[in-house]
């Protein structure tokens, strides 16, 4: 088997194994929580007979191991279960929410990824001069401030004081693309500020690390301009760590939007999860956690595979 294909197969197998282990942790973590699911559904006035019947109906009297493999078997067949509070199919209810979250993350990525690479290149080009110091200072400040605080500040000044964008990011099917983009302007701005800083600083560090190489000095002695050296020689050879940090931040955009969705009342996966956590709807919490884990692990696998294919040293570690 080709070395690259073997390494990619190992990464895929490791990702599936990790997802299986995460599913076990999610199931165990939700089942060891204090309280009674049947009691939380029926309320404090429920009779012991009603509680016993509901536990039997939900399968709560079965051993935990049997319930886990039953749940996992349903997941492998595309059945995420049924919500306890509404009786709706979780996969069907989650589909629209997940598409909304991916829509929000997609536009944040479209803006933040090219901008982060561009600012990283500018910071390297003007290293230790005022553009580099300004970019580094602003990005360091955005990393240090919690995203919910950035959201409330933008909501107050841009949404309330200036009225340039709505403070509640509620989208629905009948809206045009332009209306949706205007509605999600503030949450996209917050997500962009949060992930832009990390990607820009990693891009700068990766390129500066490559700039110490001997072939960069050779290119300088040949009379090439600094921008050409960075763009044609340093940037392509530093692409692996940049791809890794981009994929990690894309995973954050999908998985870590819970706070932003709650702040702006956005109808995505994060808001869906928080609503059902408050209702102690365990099947929804388990399904949401598994979907978030699958997205995070999947994007990390993509980063590893891209790094393997783009870096010969990873394909031939010996």
pLDDT, one tens digit per residue, over 145-189 is: 888 888 888 888 888 888 888 888 777 777 788 888 888 888 888
Pairwise CA distance, residues 11 & 236, whole Å: 23
For the residues of 135-154, what is the DSSP string, one character each? HHHHHHHHHHS-HHHHHHHH
Q: Is 82 helix (H, G, I), strand (E, B) or coil?
A: strand
pTM: 0.76
- Of the pLDDT bands very low, low, confident and very high (cuts 50, 70, 90), residue 126 is confident
For the chain, the structural domain boundaries read 98-280
pLDDT of 97 reads: 83
Token pair of 268 as six digits: 């995505």
Are 118 and 227 within 8 A, CB to CB? no
- Cα-flanking dihedrals φ and ψ of residue 82, to 5°? -125, 135
Residue 273 has pLDDT above 70, yes or no: yes
Average pLDDT over residues 261-266: 83
- Give per-residue burial for 150-185: e unless 16+ CB within 10 Å, then b: bbbebbeebbeeeeebbbebebeeeeeeeebeebbb
Task: Tell which wins on pLDDT, 102 or 308.
Answer: 102
42 compared with 204, residue with greater pLDDT: 204
Percent of the chain at pLDDT exceeding 70: 84
199 closest CA partner among 259, 302, 102, 113 = 113
pLDDT computed for residue 168 by the predictor: 80
CA distances from 173 to 52, 177, 195, 269, 279 (A): 42, 10, 28, 16, 27
- What does the pLDDT read at residue 42? 60
What's the longest Cα–Cα distance across the chain?
86
The CATH number given to 98-280 is: 1.10.3720.10
Cα dist. 1→4, 186, 187, 316 in Å? Answer: 9, 49, 46, 14
What end-to-end distance do the CA atoms of the chain give, in Å? 17
């Amino acid at each position: 088997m080709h070395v690259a294909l073997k390494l990619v197969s190992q990464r895929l197998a490791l990702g599936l194994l990790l997802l299986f282990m995460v599913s076990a942790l999610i199931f165990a973590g939700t089942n060891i929580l204090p309280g009674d699911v049947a009691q939380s559904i029926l309320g404090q006035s429920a009779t012991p007979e009603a509680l016993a019947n509901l536990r039997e109906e939900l399968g709560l009297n079965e051993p935990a191991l049997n319930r886990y493999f039953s749940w996992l078997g349903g997941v492998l067949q595309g059945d995420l279960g049924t919500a306890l509070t509404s009786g709706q199919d979780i996969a069907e209810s989650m589909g629209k929410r997940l598409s909304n979250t991916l829509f929000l993350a997609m536009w944040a990525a479209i803006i933040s990824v090219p901008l982060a690479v561009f600012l990283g290149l500018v910071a390297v080009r003007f290293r230790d001069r005022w553009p580099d110091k300004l970019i580094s200072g602003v990005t360091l400040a955005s990393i240090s401030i919690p995203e919910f605080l950035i959201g409330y500040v933008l909501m107050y000044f841009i949404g309330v004081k200036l009225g340039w964008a709505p403070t509640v990011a509620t989208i629905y099917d009948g809206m045009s693309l332009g209306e949706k983009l205007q509605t999600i302007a503030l949450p996209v701005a917050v997500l962009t500020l949060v992930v832009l800083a990390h990607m820009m600083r990693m891009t700068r560090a990766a390129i500066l690390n490559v700039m110490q190489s001997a072939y960069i000095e050779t290119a300088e002695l040949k009379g090439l301009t600094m921008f050409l050296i960075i763009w044609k020689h340093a940037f392509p050879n530093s692409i692996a760590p940049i791809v890794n940090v981009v994929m990690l931040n894309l995973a954050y955009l999908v998985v870590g939007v819970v706070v932003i969705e709650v702040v702006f009342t956005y109808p995505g996966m994060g808001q869906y999860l928080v609503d059902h956590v408050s209702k102690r709807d365990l099947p929804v919490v388990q399904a949401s956690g598994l979907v978030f884990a699958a997205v995070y692990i999947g994007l990390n696998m993509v980063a590893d595979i891209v790094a393997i294919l783009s870096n010969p040293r990873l394909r031939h570690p010996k």
